[in-house]
Structure 1
Amino acid sequence: MKQFENKVAVITGGASGFGKVFARLGAALRMRLVLADVQEDVLDATVGELKAQGAQVIGLRADVARAAEVQALADAAMSAFGEVNLLFNNAGVGAGGLLWESTERDWDWVLGVNLHGVIHGVRIFTPLMLEAARKDADYRGHIVNTASMAGLLNAPAMGIYNVSKHAVVALSETLYQDLGLVTDQVHCSVLCPYFVPTGISQSHRNRPATLANAVPPTRSQRVAQAQAEKAVSSGKVSAEDVAQRTFDAIRDESFYIYSHPQALDGVRQRMEAMVAQRNPPDPFGDKPEVRAALVRALRD
C-alpha cells in the first residue's frame, strides 16, 4: 500500500497505546478511521480529539474476544465507508507469573484478547479485503497483527503472554503464506515490539468481571506485574517511533516489524539452540542481574 489518503483503517485497541498513535498517524495521512476499544470513555475522548482535528472517524465499543462484536465492527466499517484497506489487530492485554499458578480465567482472558481477537479479525476482515480486490484491480489491503518480542523469545514468569504472542506470530506467518497463494493485492505484517511505554502493564483495569479471579494474585504474579511496570515505563523507544516504523513497513510491504532490532540477538541464540538441539538459552544472558532479582524475589 503506497498511498494512505482516503483509505479506510480499522484499529482495535484504538483508544490508547499503539492503537491511539496508529490512529493519530492515520489521521495525519488523511485516512478514514474506525476505532474499537473496550474502554468506552477513553474511546469517546479519542474519537472526539481526532474529529476536532478534521479526521473522518467513528468509534465502536468492542471486546475483540467476542466474535459477534468483531463482526459488528466490520459491519460498522462497511456501512460507514464501504471498504476496509488497513486492519490493525492491535488490542492486547498482559499477565504474568509462574506458569502453573495461572488460573483458567487467566488463560481465558489473555488468550481471548491476544489470540482470539486476532483470529476473529483475520477471519472476518480478510474475506472483505479479498472481495474488494476481486472487484477492483487497483485495490490494496494490508493487515497488521500486533504480537511482541515475547512471540519470539520466552522470558520466565510471562507464560500466558508468551504463549499468546507466539501464536500470533505463527498465525501471521501462515497468513502471509496463505495470502500469497491467492492474491497480490492484500498483504500482512506482524509487529513485534519490545518494552515501549504504553498502557499494556495496566491492562488489568479492563479485565471483565466474569473473568476475574476469586483469590488474590500469587507472589509470582505480583513480582511479574512489578517487573512489567518497570520495564514498560522505562522504555526509550516511543509508541510514535513504532507507529512510524509500522506505516513504513506497510508502504514497503515488509513483514517483520521490530521496535528494538538489537533484541534479535536473543532470537538468534534461541534459534541456534533449537537447530543444534541444545537446551534453551537464558533469555537474560546479557542481563544476569534481572534473573538474579527474579530468583531473590521468588525464593526469599
Structure 2
Amino acid sequence: MTAQDVFGGGVAVITGAGAGIGAGLARHAHRLGMTVVLADVDEEAIGTLRDELNADGGTAVCIPCDVRDSIAVQELADRAYAEVGPVRLLVNNAGVEQFGYLWDTPVANWNRVVEVNVSGVFHGIRAFLPKMIATPAPAWVWNLSSIGGVAVVPLQAPYIMSKHAVLALTECLQLEVQHAGFDHIHVQAVLPGAVVSNIFESAGGVDAHGGDTAAAESQRSAMLDIKAAAMDPIAAAEVVFDQAAEGRFYLLTQPDYVGSAMTERANVLASQRAPMLRTGRRFDPEAE
C-alpha cells in the first residue's frame, strides 16, 4: 500500500510542527490529503504554516501547545478529537538540543531537554493513546528519536540521552500495544539523520561563569557545518511516510547513513567495546 492509501483523508497531529522536520511532515501530510493539526510553542510559526496549507486547498488548524505541560497536551488531544475528528496519525516530534560538557550543563537546560524530548513524548502517548484505542479505526503513533538514538556523541550528552530514551520508550510501547492486543494501533520509531532546521541555533549552551563555553560553541559550529548539507524536510517526510506505509518499525530518513550507525551501535554492544573518540568523524543527530 502507498502512503496515500494508508494516510490520505485522515487527521494528523504533529507536535513541534513550526519548523524543521515537523513542518516537513505537516506539508507532506497535507500533500497526501490529510487534515493537519499543527502544535507548537511558536504560535506565529504554526499560524503561518496553517495559512500556507489552507491557501493550498488543504485543511489545517493550529493549537499552541507546550509539550512539557501534561494538561496542555491533554487539551490538545481533547480539542483535536472534538473539533477535527479521530486522529489517524500522532507525531510526537517536538525536541530541543543542548551543547557543552555534561558537568557544565545548567540544571535548567538539562530539565528542558528531558521535559521536551522525553516527557513530551510520554504526555502525547498518555493523552492520545486511550482515544486511539477506543476508536476501532487503525491509528499510527510516531515518536521522533534520531540517529543520535543509536550513537554516542561528546558535548551533546543530554540530547543523545533523550533520543536513546525515546527509542527505548517506543520499542517498549510497541511491545505493550501487542501485549494488550490492540492490533489497530501501529507504533513506529522515526530516526532522522541531518534534516534542515534551526535546532542547532536555538540549542542551549553553558554558563560563561565556570563553564567551557568554547567547547560548547565549537560543537554547535560543527553541527551547523553538517546542517549545510542536511536533507530537505519535505524530502525527509516523504521517505518517512513511504516507509511507514510499508509497515516498517524503524523509519529512517537516510536509510544507508542511519542504518550504518545502527549497525555500528550493534557491533559495539556485541563486542562490549568502550566508547572511543574518533578523530575527524562525527555522528550528527537530526535537526528536528
**Structure 1 residue 217: deviation in Å?**
7.1
Q: Which amino acid aligns with 1:48?
A: D
The superposition leaves residues 195-237 of structure 1 with CA deviations (integer Å, 9 ceiling, x where unpaired) of 1222221234xx8xxxx969587222211211221212322x3
Q: Which has the higher helix share?
A: 1
Q: In 2, Cα distance between the equivalents of 1:266 and 1:16?
A: 25
Q: Which amino acid aligns with 2:213?
A: T
Q: 1:171 maps to what in 2?
A: 169
Q: Residue 289 of structure 1 is aligned with which of 253, 263, 280?
A: 280
Q: Residue 147 of structure 1 is aligned with which of 145, 148, 151?
A: 145
Q: 1:218 maps to what in 2?
A: 213
The superposition leaves residues 47-106 of structure 1 with CA deviations (integer Å, 9 ceiling, x where unpaired) of 111111121111011111111111111111011123111001011111111111111111
Aligned pair 1:111/2:114, yes or no? Answer: yes
What secondary structure does 1:234 align onto? coil
Aligned pair 1:253/2:252, yes or no? Answer: no
Aligned pair 1:232/2:265, yes or no? Answer: no
1:274 and 1:280 in contact (8 A); partners too = no
Q: In 2, Cα distance between the equivalents of 1:196 and 1:44?
A: 22
Q: 1:294 maps to what in 2?
A: none
What secondary structure does 1:289 align onto? coil
Q: Which amino acid aligns with 1:188?
A: V
Q: 2:9 maps to what in 1?
A: 6
What secondary structure does 1:202 align onto? coil
Aligned pair 1:188/2:191, yes or no? Answer: no
**Structure 1 residue 268: deviation in Å?**
2.2
Q: Residue 264 of structure 1 is aligned with which of 241, 259, 264?
A: 259
Aligned pair 1:73/2:69, yes or no? Answer: no
2:21 and 2:195 in contact (8 A); partners too = no
Q: In 1, Cα distance between the equivalents of 2:167 and 2:157?
A: 15
1:15 and 1:46 in contact (8 A); partners too = yes
Q: 2:44 maps to what in 1?
A: 41
Aligned pair 1:275/2:274, yes or no? Answer: no
Q: TM-score, normalised by structure 2?
A: 0.89
Q: In 1, Cα distance between the equivalents of 2:124 and 2:258?
A: 28
Q: 1:297 maps to what in 2?
A: none
Q: Which amino acid aligns with 1:226?
A: S
Provide structure 2 residue ranges, at least 5 long, that are not aligned to the other structure: 283-288
What secondary structure does 2:9 align onto? coil
Greater RCO (Cα-Cα under 8 Å, separation 6 or more): 2
Question: Aligned ranges for residues 117-132 of structure 1 at < 5 Å?
Answer: 117-132=120-135
1:270 and 1:281 in contact (8 A); partners too = no
What secondary structure does 1:63 align onto? coil
Q: In 1, Cα distance between the equivalents of 2:73 and 2:16?
A: 12
Q: In 2, Cα distance between the equivalents of 1:246 and 1:75?
A: 27
What secondary structure does 1:58 align onto? strand
Q: Which runs of 4+ in 1 moved over 4 A?
A: 212-217
Q: 1:84 maps to what in 2?
A: 87
Q: In 2, Cα distance between the equivalents of 1:230 and 1:214?
A: 23
Give RMSD over aligned pairs.
2.1
What secondary structure does 2:99 align onto? coil
**Identity over aligned residues, as a percent?**
32
Provide structure 1 residue ranges, at least 5 long, that are not aligned to the other structure: 134-138, 292-300
Q: TM-score, normalised by structure 1?
A: 0.86
Q: In 2, Cα distance between the equivalents of 1:122 and 1:110?
A: 18
Q: In 2, Cα distance between the equivalents of 1:154 and 1:289?
A: 15
